[in-house]
Structures are given as C-alpha cells and as structure tokens.
Structure 1
Amino acid sequence: MTRRFILPLAAALLAAPAAFAQKTYLHCGHLLDVRSGRLLAQQTVVVEKDRIVAVQAGYAAAGPQDKVIDLENRTVLPGLIDCHVHLETVPSRASFAERFTLNPADVAYRAEANALTTLRAGFTTVRDCGGSGINTALRKAVAKGLVPGPRIYSAGTAISSTGGHMDESDGLSDYMIEKLNLGPAEGVANGPVQCQQAVREQFRRGADLIKIASTGGVLDLSKDASGAQYTEEEIRAIVQTARDLGMAVACHAHGAEGIKRAVRAGVTSIEHGSLMDAEAIQLMVKTRTWYVPTIIAGKSVADTARKHPDYFSPVVAAKALSIGPQIQSTFGRAYKAGVRVAFGTDAGVYRHGQNAREFGYMTEAGMPPLEAIRSATLNAAALLDESANFGALEAGKLADVVALDGDPLKDITALMRPRFVMKAGVVYVNN
C-alpha cells in the first residue's frame, strides 16, 4: 500500500473508538420540563460521558454499543440543588462538646458519609455554607472521583464579627478565648480592613464563595439572634473584595436591620431571613437579592426544643422556640411579594438526607409545586451562576438526573423517595 493510503487508514483507525463511544439512553415514562412546566410523556435522554447530548420524544433506539436504562414507570427531572448545607455537622446533644473532642479526621469521615447520603437523596449539587475547611477538601475529593458525593460549592470558613454567629469562642471562658485568639484567618473579623483580609484568606484557601453573618444565630451561645452584628460599611468591604476575586457572598441573617444592611451592601443571597419586615422584602425585590429560606431548619430546632427541653442550652432553646417557627410564614410573605427564591435547607442542623422535606413546607406556605421544584433546579443553578451547566434536562448540560415514582406536581412528597440518581453521567442509585 502506498503512503497516501496508509496514512488516512491509520487516522481512521485511531478515530474509530470515538465513533463507537458508548452512550446511555434513559427511557423516561414522564419527563418534567422545568422551564416550560410541562410533564412530557415517553421521552429519551441521551447521555454521552458526563453530558446530555439529546432529549428526544419517544423511546429512541440505542446502538449495539450503547446502554439503555428503563425509567418508563418513573417521572424524571433534573438533579436537585441544595444551596445551604453543612456537610461537616450533624445534630446532636453533644455538638458543643464535639468542638473539643473530634479530630479533623473524625469530621472528614463524617462529612464524607453525609455527602453520600445527600447524593442518594437526589441532590446532585450543594452549596456548603461554612465549615472548618474540610468542606473545601471534600469538594476536591469529590471532583477528583476519590469519594462519591454531590458537586460541592464550598464557602470554606464563614466570617462574622467578634461575638458574632461564627465566633467559635462564644460562651467560653476568658482563658479559652485568649488561647483560641481567633482572628480574620479563622473567620472573626472587625472593621473594613479585617473584613477584606478575611475574604482574601478564604480565597487563598480555595473557597468558591464567601459566607458571612450580619446578625446572630439560633444555635450559637449569644443571647440575641436578631441584632445587627456588622455595619453596612463592613459588609460593603466584604462584598467588594469578594467581587474583585470573582466570588458571591451568602449572608446569614435573621433580624430585619441586619438583612437590610446586607442587601444595601450588595450581598448575593440572604440565608434564613426569619424576621425580615416589609421594608426588607421590598428592598430584596428591588435589588433582586436571592432568598434561601431553610424552613426545615427553623421547624426542626423549634420541634426539638419543644419535645426535648434539655436538648439545647437554655439560651439556645429560647431562641429556637421564638425564631424557628417564624421562617415559614416569612417565606410565604417574601415569595408572594416577588422575592427570588433558591432552595436551601441548612442540612446539618437537621439530619442529612431529609432535604426534600423542605418542598412540602414551601408548598404549605403558598408556593406552587412547580415553583418549589424550580427553586431547586433553574433558580438554584442561577444563584450558583451555573445555568449553562445544570438546572434543566437539556442538551449540553451535565447529566444530573433524578427519577421518582408518581407525579411531584401532584404529590410533592414524591421528591423524598428518589428511585434513580445520576450525577454527571454516573449512576449512584437505581432501584
């Protein structure tokens, strides 16, 4: 054979494996088009490697090298997204003591187990809103395929003022406070300069976003969860520094004044928002600030404090009973006023894997089931600035797929029982 025949033949043989690359065909009895809101019968989602390459009407025939997964008795929708979790933590009477008894390796193994539980519950992407830095390491391990879990966007260590919600020395003796000596590197920052330093520290450590607290919290040992704990100038310094570094800012806030300061300063999202007033709601509508409500967290801590009076310390129990029950009604008012909502649950405050209970609480407060699902797909992807990659079952997007029994538009609790979970083309659950 001459050179002019040999070279093209060699090139064709080298290219042959790509031509016969295996695809996966998902035959879907019903497919929820979250963009149009339509439930489409008999659809095929074609997956190649980690992406969707086609969504077709009917049950498309697969090639001899391809794989078919029968979901003909299921309702299929995009992988769900939880925009507020804490993979390192679990609810426990011993939570305070564990800060002094667990080693980083103990926390890491626990976080890995929580991540797998979350993925199996149908949540293929999460935003971890604050931990020790193990959350960022876990993100890397999942991305490299070393351990199974949802796609993680990590806030690293969250930032607050001295005595604020994320100050780990709250409630300790003066001796322990001196020994800990927490500062910007540990997420405790005061004044614009320290706040800028704290943001840069999290950027250096590999965080994807910045999490701050502009008010106190329920589960910390401070006496008040509603008072503002950062000035608007301090929050503005955080937001501007984060923007310079290409990072969004999520803001834990319960009290109305702390919410308004944060929104005026330009944060990306308000987390919890339990006590927001009408002025704060209108400000969020005007600025298009995202709201991540975490209703399940409020209900969970309130129920625990009510049923088990000795579970929390007295100061925490009082806040749990007064603030926790208010999130659901606040959410209902904010949604009806037009505030943009992204799904989030604060998993870690309650038991991981129960994230989908939030959908029921959202619909109870007046959000239609389709909008609740959109909050965990289209909206959550938009909050993460990842609309091009996930949030809908469309060609070109990552193959994050969940399948259920029943119709979640009629029975929202179906979302609590996923029968099939695929993340980036890999199947993790197939019952």
Structure 2
Amino acid sequence: MRRFALALLLTASPALAETEKLSIVANGEIVGSVVAETTGTRTIVDYRVDDNGRGPKHREEIVLGARGVPVEWTVAGTSLMGGPVAERFRATAGHATWESQADKGDAALPAPALYILNDDSPYAAGVYARAALAAGGSIATLPGGRVTATKVRTARIGTTPVTVIRLDGIQLSPDYLMLDAQQRLFATFSATGVAIRAGQEAQAPALLTLGAVLEGERIRAISAKVAHRYDVPVRIRNVRILDARAGTLGAPATVVVMRDRITQILPGDGGAAPADQLVIDGQGGTLMPGLADMHSHTSLDSGLYYLAAGVTLTRDMGNKNDFLLDLLPRVDTGEIAGPHIVPDGFIEGRSPYSARNGFIPDTLDDAYKAVRWYADRGYREIKIYNSFNPDWVKPVAAEAHRLGLGVTGHVPAFSSPDRVIEDGYDTIAHINQLMLGWLLDPKDDTRTPLRLTGMARAAELDLASPRVQRTVALMKAHGTALDTTAVILERLMLSRAGTVAEGDAAYLSHLPIGYRRYRQRTFVPLKDAGEDQRYRAAFVKLLDTMKLLHGQGIRLLPGTDDATGFTVQREVELYAKAGIPAADALRLATWGAADYLGETATRGTIERGKAAEFVLLAGDPTRDVAAIRAPRMVMRAGAIYYPAEIYRALAIEPFAAPPPVTPPSATPPAALGHAGTAYFGAAAHDHVD
C-alpha cells in the first residue's frame, strides 16, 4: 500500500523544469542571452540581443512531437531593428499551418516535416539538428526545402565533450553548433559570432577559431572546384566590349588573355584561333569590367557570392583586423575565391553603443596609434564610426592625411555632415548619414536605430532648402564623395512582411528557404498606413537626392553594406531608378570605383596590359541595366569562373548558363585546367583565423 501511494505521488508530481542558458558573445563582449526552460515536451525561450543599438528581443514557445520534431512553435517580440514579430506554427493529424512575417500557409504532412522559423534564436539550431539527426541526417522542411545535419567532428570544450554539427539548407551559409552528450545545445558559432553555454564564455575565442577553420575548409574546397586556370592563352570571341568611361559598346571584338593579363584586343572574330588556345564563344554578348562594391564587409564566403554576381573589386569598410590581414593574400592568390579587396581601417569610440570591430581608442593618442597601425599595413583609408568623439575627427583626419590615408565613415553622433566635411572627411558612408544632417536635431542620438527610423522624415524634405544646398556646396568645394548604399536603405525602409520586395524579386526564389523567408519581413516599426507611406515617400526623396548630387558633380560610390553580390546589382539598378543614365551608373560601378581607389592602371576598363577582371553578359546593360543580373562568365586573378557552377556549389539555382568553350586541339584538355586541391599544395590545409 505504501509503495502504491508513493508511486501515485510521483506520477502526480509535475515534471521538473530544466533551464539552459547561453550567452551571445561578440568581439569578446557579452551582447545578449538565450534562456530556455523545458518542462516535459514544452520549452519557453527568452532571447535578447543589444549590439550597437540593434538586436532581436523575443520569446519562443516550443512543443515537441515524435522524434523531436516541433508540433507547435510560436515567437513574439521584436526583430533586429525593432519591427514586430508574431509567428505561429502548428501541426496536428497530418496537417500543418503557419503564419509569420514572411508568409502564411498550410500543408498536408504525409511524413514529419521540420518547420523553419522566420524569426529564430540560436536555440532553434539545436532543435533543427536533433530533428535532422533523428531522421537519419536529413529532413524535409516547411515551407519548403530540406535541412541536413552532418557530424563533422568531436571535441572537448573545457570539461564538456561535444559533437560539432554543420547544418545546411537554411541560410546562405551553413550553421555550426555543438551538442553535448545529452544532445543539449552547448553552442552555436561561426567565424564572427558565438552563442555559448553560460559560464563558458572564456571558450568563445576557441569557437571563433574553430568556425573559421571549418568554414575555411569548406570555402577552399569550393574555391578549388570552381576556379578554372589555364597555362595557354584564352581567346574570348564574338563579344562587344563596354567602354566603361564612355558608357558605350564597341564593335564585335576578340579578347585574348594569358593567365591574369589581357594580351590582345582584336577586331571582329580575331581570325582563326591557334590550335593551342582555349576559345570561349561570347555569342554576341557584352564583355564589361567587373562591378565594384564600395561598401563591403568581407567574410570567408562573400567572395564566391561576389564573383558569381560579376563583382571583381570591393572596398572593405570595417572588419576584424587579424582576419582581414590573413585573408587578403589568400584571396589574391586564389586560395580563397573572391574579388580584389581594398581595406579601410575601422576606428570607433567608446560608448554603450560601440561597434565591435577594428580599434576603440580611449584617448586621442590611442586614435593616432590606430591610424599609424593601419598606415603601416597598407590600408587605403580609415573609417570613423558612430561613437567616435566629434572633437577628435579633425586631428585624426589630419594625421591620416599626413600618412597618405583617406578618411571616410559615418557622421559621429552629435556631429553633422557639414562639420565632418570641413574637418577632413574625403567620403561620407551611407546616404542616410548624409541626409540625417538635414532631418534631425543635433542633439538626436544617431548611435541608436534613429539613424534608420529618422529617415521617414525625408518624406517632407525640401532639396532646394538652404540647409541641403549648403552641404552640397561644401561637398563640391572639398571634393567630398558619398558611398550611397541605397540598396540597404531600400531593404530596411521598404521591406514589408509577407511580400517579396522589388529589390529582391529577381533572385529570391533561387535561394535557400530560410534566407527567402528572412527577406520577407518588416524591419522598421510601422504604427499605421500613414507611416508606411512616409517611408515610401522618403525613399523616393533619397533617390532624388542621389540624382541631385550626381547632377552637381558629386562623386557617388555604389556600395551595399552587404556581401551577397545580388545587392551590388540592385544598387546599380537604383542609380538608374533615380534617373541617373544607365551608362553613368555602369561607369560609377566600374571605372569610377577603380579611379577613386587609385586602381585605374590595372583595372576598371578592358584594355591590353590590364588585369583580366571582367564579366560576360548575354544582354546589353547600357540599354537595360538588369542585364548585369545574369553573368555567364567572370575572370579574376588568372581564373575563369562560371557563376552557374558557383551557385550550384552554394545550393542556389543558377541564373544563366555558361558560354560554349572549345578546348585547344593541340593539347589534351586534361593537361590544361587545374582546379583541384593539388593546385594549392600544402596551403590548402592551412586555416584562416
């Protein structure tokens, strides 16, 4: 009887809750947390991030069904820039329904399928991995696609043995995570950020290194696979060359390349091709200089996306210094595929909103030391950021100029575009950083999301006002340029939940399900329809500002603040949408960028003796800028890349077929191209930190 009573008591007792805590670590500092409480099959997750004034803050509730597949999943809170999040998923009796910022739908479930959140937290990675592993390593996902979980190695973090897992099929890049012996989430990590079990934060640097190693191995393998190199001349026939400076297409021509240099430009078909040359038939398409992204933040995999989009030149506007300095020579040798990178050195100020890149000097003397550090390592410019002391700009700019460096950046909080121009800025980064000087009070704090939300005020901006005209006059007098990043403003101001934005429509359906759904969201808080219209009107005014500046002779530098390549194409489209002639937009995105960077001796135009860095298109971009969205072939650093091959390697549906290629008849094809790891030798086994 006593045993029966005890058993009854135990059965009636509520299940004990288990709490898991993770810390979000960025640049050595804790910037957020994940707290998950599990009782039976139900888990409540609180997720908060506050990094540089931004970060998601939401609460998840998960109910697990058979084999760890969620049958209920809700999320409520705010996303990166404060937009509302309200997501719901439920599966019952072979049927599933869902509703998120991106979409709403329902589907029959003949077999369990894993729902992929539109607004997730690091905890979700553990849910995905456990469900995929329970299904044998791969599981169908909702609203579409498949996720694969691969055990890549085992390790010991401190005293905890863990299994390292790579998740593929959700975002553009794979997710890496660690599960402990009980399959609880120990960490998620990449080369740039870590979420790790509370109390283990000191292990974050080791995980960052591991993320870099694993991604380095993956990117090296893809880089080797898609790079085609030849020890004979490559003859590209039946093309029309875009004169980027003049904005015109020439007569049909033939371009001959030996390794990484243009050796001949011949009229017409160039005559009979020698038997020992590889011949590429351009089929009447356009051969144009590679595009440039003048506001990039390089990652290990960004180079592949850039090359596939026809981008062969980037200006890195802020990065982890050790990472970038290690990466630069690897990119130039082709070990890691990517465009030529011109680095700018990041300098921030100390505040609760400090961005965590480059240097954060505490004194003016420390700021001078940072400038000298960058100068000694061959950086082209310094980039000043939001929290930098406005009173330090003038002396720091003077020191940079003394050492031959340019000066660019955000307008520091509580300063103004006019002041930084007069204090020595050569370029202002982001068109909103320029326009906020006409829209905000000097006391407004632009270290916060106000630097985005304040742009709604541009709807009523008078571009003929004295305030605007004074800034334009100062830019002309000082030769100050603007890197526009209009595309990132379009994305943040005009993206709306449940719709595919105009800027994403040309490519989004080709990409993995998680990324597709992430793009279909509202990033800014919208109180009502009136505010929605204000943002739309404000973006039109932004485009009007670009046209005004271009008409006044201000140098514009197309940039993205992104690294997918698709946004570079959209940035050029936005120049045309602003009323800037297509030929001018193409010039600014090619020769103009090379000219600003002092690179025209080797790149920016297709001429004999210059670097073979160009793109083959099927159409004529001077008639329709959208032709740049479908490159068929790209050359860079002595290698031929076919975007279709790169996209397939990245699990993206290609946009254009490669051109016909005829190998030399005088030499066996197998002896010509080398795109395997043997080409890279022992370096293929090194890792990027």
Q: What TM-score does the superposition give when structure 1 sets the normalisation length?
A: 0.73
Shift of 1:192: 3.7
> How far apart are residue 322 of structure 1 and its match?
9.9
Do the aligned partners of residues 333 and 190 (structure 1) sit closer, same or farther apart at CA in structure 2, a change above 3 Å counting? farther
Equivalent residues of 1:354, 1:416 under 8 A apart: no
Classify 1:398/1:165 alpha carbon distance in 2 versus 1 (closer, same or farther; 3 Å): farther
**Structure 2: which amino acid aligns with 1:202?**
Y
Counterparts of 1:310 and 1:357 in 2: how far apart (Å)? 18
Normalized against structure 2, the TM-score is what?
A: 0.47
| 1:81 match: secondary structure | strand
1:118-197 superposed matches below 5 A: 118-133=306-321, 134-156=323-345, 158-163=346-351, 166-168=354-356, 186-189=358-361, 192-197=364-369
| Structure 2: distance between partners of 1:303 and 1:244 | 42
Instruction: Return the letter of the residue paired with 1:343.
Output: P
Tell me the CA shift for residue 208 of structure 1: 4.1
- Which residue identity does 1:296 align to in structure 2? V
Is residue 437 of structure 2 the alignment partner of residue 265 of structure 1? no
Q: Distance in 1 between matches of 2:317 and 2:350?
A: 19
Q: Which moved more, 1:199-208 or 1:306-315?
A: 306-315
Q: Which of 218, 226, 232 is 1:22 aligned to? A: 232
Deviation at 1:144, TM superposition (A): 2.7
Range that drifts further, 339-348 or 21-30 = 21-30
Gap change, CA 1:63 and 1:166, over 3 Å in 2: farther
The residue that corresponds to 2:250 in the other structure is 40
Q: Of 245, 263, 266, which aligns to 1:56? A: 266
**C-alpha offsets along residues 46-93 of structure 1, whole Å, 9 cap, x if unaligned?**
212211122222111333322221113311111111111112xxxxxx
* Distance across 2 between alignment mates of 1:264 and 1:324: 27
**Which has a greater percent of strand?**
2
* Structure 2 unaligned residues grouped into runs of 5+: 1-230, 438-467, 499-517, 644-657, 659-689
Task: Find the residue that maps to 1:32 and give its secondary structure.
Answer: strand
- 2:616 corresponds to 1:391: no
Post-superposition shift, 1:209?
2.9
Pair 1:76–1:165, CA change in 2 (3 A): farther
Residue in 1 that maps onto 2:631:
418
- Tell me whether 1:337 sits opposite 2:552 in the alignment: yes
Deviation at 1:413, TM superposition (A): 0.7
Following the alignment from structure 2 to structure 1, what is the Cα–Cα distance between the partners of residues 296 and 538?
17
Q: Does 1:201 align with 2:373?
A: yes
Which whole-Å CA distance do the structure 1 matches of 2:521 and 2:627 have between them?
34
Moved over 6 A (4+): 305-311
Note the alpha carbon deviations across 1:254-283, whole angstroms, 9 max, x for none: 989532222223322211132153222221
Structure 1 residues 352 and 39 mapped into 2: Cα distance closer, same or farther (>3 Å)? Answer: closer
Deviation digits for residues 13-57 of structure 1, max 9, x if unmatched?
xxxxxxxx7322211432211223321121111212211122222
The letter of the residue matching 1:273 is: I
Specify the alignment match of 1:291 in structure 2.
Answer: 482
Does structure 2 retain, via aligned residues, the 8 Å contact 1:75–1:406?
yes
3-state SS of 1:45 partner? strand
Residue ranges of structure 1 left out of the alignment (5+ in a row): 1-20, 88-110, 169-184, 217-228
Q: Which residue in 2 is equivalent to 1:75?
A: 286
Flag the 1:241–1:298 CA change in 2: closer, same or farther, 3 A: same
Q: For the structure 1 residues 294 and 377, does the alpha-carbon distance in structure 2 shift closer, same or farther, using more than 3 Å as the test?
A: same
Deviations along 1:203-233, whole A, 9 cap, x unmatched? 45664432112x57xxxxxxxxxxxx543x5
Q: 1:364 to 1:234 in 2, by over 3 A?
A: same
For 2:173, the equivalent position in structure 1 comes to none
User: In 1, distance between residues paired with 2:244 and 2:286?
Assistant: 12
Q: 1:346-389 CA deviation, whole Å, 9 max, x = no partner?
A: 115xx553320111111111110000000011110011111111
Structure with higher Rg: it is 2
Q: Cα distance, 1:305 vs. partner?
A: 6.8
Contact 1:121 1:417 in 2 (8 A): yes
Contact 2:311 2:339 in 1 (8 A): yes
| RMSD, aligned CA | 3.1
- Deviation of residue 314 (structure 1)? 6.6
Deviations 1:154-189 (A, max 9, x none): 225x21222387534xxxxxxxxxxxxxxxx95223
- Asked if the contact 2:284–2:618 (Cα under 8 Å) also holds between the matched residues in 1, the reply is yes
1:281 to 466, 472, 484: 472
Q: Distance in 1 between matches of 2:244 and 2:350?
A: 43
Residue aligned with 1:112, SS: coil
1:176 counterpart residue number: none
Q: Residue 399 of structure 1: CA displacement? A: 0.6
2:568 maps to 355
Q: In the superposition, relative to structure 1, how do residues 263 and 146 fare at CA in structure 2: closer, same or farther (>3 Å)?
A: same
Alpha-carbon spacing, 1:404–1:166, altered in 2? closer, same or farther (3 Å): farther
When residues 415 and 137 of structure 1 are mapped into structure 2, their CA distance, relative to the original with a 3 A threshold, is same
Give the drift of 1:401: 1.0
Contact residue 635 and residue 641 of structure 2 kept, 8 A: yes
How far, CA to CA, are the matches of 2:344 and 2:486 in structure 1?
Answer: 21
SS in 1 for 2:394: helix
